[in-house]
């Protein structure tokens, strides 16, 4: 019955229309990409232009950076399930910051409720690593705070997308004090599950891979942040930073080990039903 509800209820819900265009009223919200790839295996990426990604959210726990997130509605933020699953009884210690550029800046919001995808970590390790949080007070949209659209179609193979977060800039370092971003290509599913990469270890229905070897990569503290891809002039939330295979020394952005993101398109129904129930 619950799966029938997930499939049918979104058809009865009229979604609120928000603008995630690259330009709004003639002013840039999120600029078009310069796809020149940086060399080296640094995980730091580049500093993001302030408010370039106006849906970025930062999840803090006990006042310290924990994970990233994405604003999809005035009252809802999407993040990774592994960021919150073991803390569902500690909601009062969460704070969500929206509209900031430096760490723990912007508007502060309380977390009222969290819904974790029912298939998280069940059909495969890290499968459906998605959660949605209801925040309070609702955000007021402006030129620096806007929601990102949910996807209508999956990302294209080799499409260039963007990842952003406040994660560590060195594998043994501290979380970044400023929002940073990286440009990453979508890796075809057959390639990511090949012997060269994860040898069948990626659950394709719920995961998508990005980043070629030698590029920047996500690392600790970037979990929950968005994999953003452009389609027809709009940015879509195609993935949520989930996991990456490191080595014995905890290093990230390794050769043959692309970053893995939770796919958002297959969980659109879950997100819409959760918003309907929690609203």
Q: Which residues are catalytic, by number? A: 82, 129, 223
Phi, psi of 238 (to 5 degrees): -90, -20
Burial of 8 (0-12, 13-18, 19+ CB in 10 A): exposed
- ω into residue 203 within 30 of 0, thus cis? no
| HEC sequence for 152-180 | CCCCCCCCEEEEEECCECCCCCCECCECE
Centre a 10 Å sphere on the Cβ of residue 37 and count the other Cβ atoms it contains: 14
- CA angle at residue 243 from 126 to 175, to 5 degrees? 135
- For residues 183 and 161, the answer to whether their CB atoms sit within 8 Å is yes
């Amino acid at each position: 019955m619950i799966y029938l509800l997930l499939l049918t209820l979104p058809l009865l819900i009229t979604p609120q229309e928000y603008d995630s265009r690259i330009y709004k009223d003639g002013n840039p919200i999120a600029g078009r990409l310069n796809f020149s790839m940086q060399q080296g295996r640094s995980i730091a990426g580049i500093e993001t232009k302030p408010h370039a990604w106006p849906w970025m959210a930062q999840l803090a726990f006990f006042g310290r950076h924990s994970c990233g997130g994405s604003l999809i509605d005035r009252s809802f933020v999407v993040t990774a399930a592994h960021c919150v699953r073991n803390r569902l009884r500690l909601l009062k210690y969460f704070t969500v910051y929206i509209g900031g550029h430096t760490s723990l800046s912007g508007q502060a919001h309380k977390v009222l409720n969290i819904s974790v995808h029912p298939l998280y970590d069940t059909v495969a390790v890290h499968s459906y690593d998605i959660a949605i949080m209801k925040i309070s007070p609702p955000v007021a949209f402006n030129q620096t705070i806007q929601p990102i659209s949910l996807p209508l179609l999956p990302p294209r193979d080799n499409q260039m997308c963007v990842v952003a977060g406040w994660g560590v800039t060195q594998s043994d370092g501290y979380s970044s004090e400023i929002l940073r971003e990286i440009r990453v290509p979508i890796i075809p599913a057959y390639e990511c599950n090949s012997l060269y990469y994860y040898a069948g270890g990626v659950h394709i229905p719920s995961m998508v891979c990005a980043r070629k070897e030698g590029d920047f990569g996500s690392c600790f503290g970037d979990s929950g942040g968005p994999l953003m891809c452009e389609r027809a002039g709009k940015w879509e939330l195609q993935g949520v930073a989930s996991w990456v295979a490191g080595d014995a020394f905890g290093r990230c952005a390794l050769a043959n080990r692309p970053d893995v993101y939770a796919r958002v398109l297959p969980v659109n129904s879950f997100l819409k039903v959760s918003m309907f129930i929690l609203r």
